[in-house]
Amino acid sequence: MLKLRPISLLPAPLFAVALAAAPVGCGGKSDEAPKDEKTEEAKPEEAKPEAKRDPDTSLDKVAKGPDLSGPVPPETDMVFFTIDGALIPIGCFNKEKGKLSAGKDCLALAPKGADVYLKSSYSDQLDTIGEPKSALCEVGVTTPTSLSTPSTDSGAAFDWAASPKSAARNVVTIPADTWDDGAIKFTDDEHKALAAAIAKINGKTADLETKVHQAASVDLNGDGKEERVFSAYVVNPRDTARYLFSGLFVADGTDPGTMLLVVKTKTNSEMFKLKAAADLDGDGTHELWVNAAFDEGGGDRMFVRKGDSFDGLGKWTCGLY
């Protein structure tokens, strides 16, 4: 009797998988033509021409700032202003007379229509001199000795100005962090030298703490070496709202032991700081723009070095004294 071997049937899902895996066509070769596995080589991108910029509207013009080209002292007159709603002339150089001056003597050197450079800690721009106008602090002045500009008349705030515009190249602004309590930097030797210099002026300060309000570095004589400038004070222990001493010093050269007094308090209430240095006459030595401030107000004045001392140029602005 013939015995039949039982046939094992694949489950339907496995049968379908087997069919899918089987080679297509005769001999297990596909009917489709083989694909070319070679890929085209990447072509280098062609350099795109650089977009042309409009010199009158591009950011390049903004980054460079105003055009300050032109002559500087002693080849031209120069007027330096502080600003308080109007331009207050605190220092000027008359080329024809070869003389430094301040106040109303400077007005003729910045006539109406003359160009002027305006500067603040965050912006600068060019403008033109306008009509005489009293500054905000010049209350009750019958004949204005300050000058207007369209920008300041519109309420724009600036710190200082120079006319002609090119004369601004002779001005070095002192950074505000030099009088920031958290950023003031000075050495122990400088602090000791300040205390000793103050004690020579007022012996009552000898055993009291000398405090530093400003410490700045700036080349004042064009020799390539920075002088150190300090504002220092000693509080009156019997009246802490006033000072036994307050003043501004310049360390002569790099020797902190040589402190030259620029200005000291008259009312025991002012605090001084150097705001800028300007070479008004182009002789290589910078004049000092000093600000004096107290609770009720303040004023500004330029100081000129004469040997080992400093002379004030004109009067303090805003009726300080």
Q: What is the pLDDT of residues 204-213, one digit of tens each?
A: 999 999 999 9
Domain match, 127 and 245 both: no
Average pLDDT over residues 99-118: 97
Is 9 contained in some domain? no
pLDDT of residue 174 exceeding 70, the answer is yes
pLDDT at residue number 17: 38
pLDDT at residue number 80: 98
Average pLDDT over residues 34-60: 50
Q: How confident is the model at residue 254 (pLDDT cuts 50, 70, 90)?
A: low
pLDDT at residue number 50: 53
Q: How confident is the model at residue 284 (pLDDT cuts 50, 70, 90)?
A: very high
51/54 Cα distance (integer angstroms): 10
Average pLDDT score, the chain: 85
Domain match, 208 and 223 both: yes
Is 49 contained in some domain? no
Alpha helices in the chain (DSSP H): 12-21, 59-64, 150-153, 188-201
Average pLDDT over residues 282-297: 94
Domain match, 161 and 196 both: no
Average pLDDT over residues 17-36: 44
281/93 Cα distance (integer angstroms): 6
85/147 Cα distance (integer angstroms): 9
Domain match, 279 and 182 both: yes
Which H/E stretch holds residue 264?
strand 259-264
pLDDT of residue 283 exceeding 90, the answer is yes
- The total domain count for the chain is 2
Residue 177 structure tokens:
């962090």
Domain match, 253 and 280 both: yes
> CB of 206 within 8 A of CB of 223?
no
CB atoms within 10 A of CB 95: 16
Domain match, 227 and 306 both: yes
Domain match, 161 and 178 both: no
Q: Collect all residues with Cβ–Cβ distance below 8 Å to 1 and sequence separation of at least 6.
A: none
Is 117 contained in some domain? yes
Residue 171 structure tokens:
């001005």
pLDDT at residue number 2: 40
Query: What one-character DSSP code corresponds to residue 220?
Result: S
Q: Which domain holds residue 240?
A: 174-321
Domain match, 212 and 164 both: no
Q: Beta strand pairing status for 227-236 and 124-128?
A: unpaired
pLDDT at residue number 86: 97
> CB of 117 within 8 A of CB of 124?
yes
> CB of 180 within 8 A of CB of 203?
no
pLDDT at residue number 63: 54
SS3 194: helix
> In the chain, what are the helix, strand and coil shares in percent, each to the nearest 5?
20, 30, 50
Average pLDDT over residues 177-193: 93
pLDDT of residue 42 exceeding 60, the answer is no
196/109 Cα distance (integer angstroms): 43
Is 36 contained in some domain? no
Is 96 contained in some domain? yes
44/47 Cα distance (integer angstroms): 9
Q: How confident is the model at residue 297 (pLDDT cuts 50, 70, 90)?
A: confident
% of the chain surpassing 90 pLDDT: 71
Domain match, 160 and 191 both: no
User: Where a domain ends, among 170, 194, 216?
Assistant: 170
Among 23-32, 72-81, 223-232, 246-255, the range of highest mean pLDDT:
72-81
Is 11 contained in some domain? no
Domain match, 72 and 143 both: yes
Is 4 contained in some domain? no
Q: Beta strand pairing status for 160-163 and 297-306?
A: unpaired
% of the chain surpassing 70 pLDDT: 79
User: Where a domain ends, among 170, 193, 228?
Assistant: 170
User: Where a domain ends, among 151, 170, 189?
Assistant: 170
Is 127 contained in some domain? yes
Q: Beta strand pairing status for 124-128 and 160-163?
A: unpaired
Average pLDDT over residues 27-53: 50
pLDDT at residue number 139: 84
What's the CA angle centered on 74, arms 71 and 77, to 5 degrees? 70
> Residues 83, 86, 90, 94: is their CA dihedral positive or negative?
positive
Q: How confident is the model at residue 30 (pLDDT cuts 50, 70, 90)?
A: very low
Domain match, 209 and 122 both: no
Domain match, 193 and 100 both: no
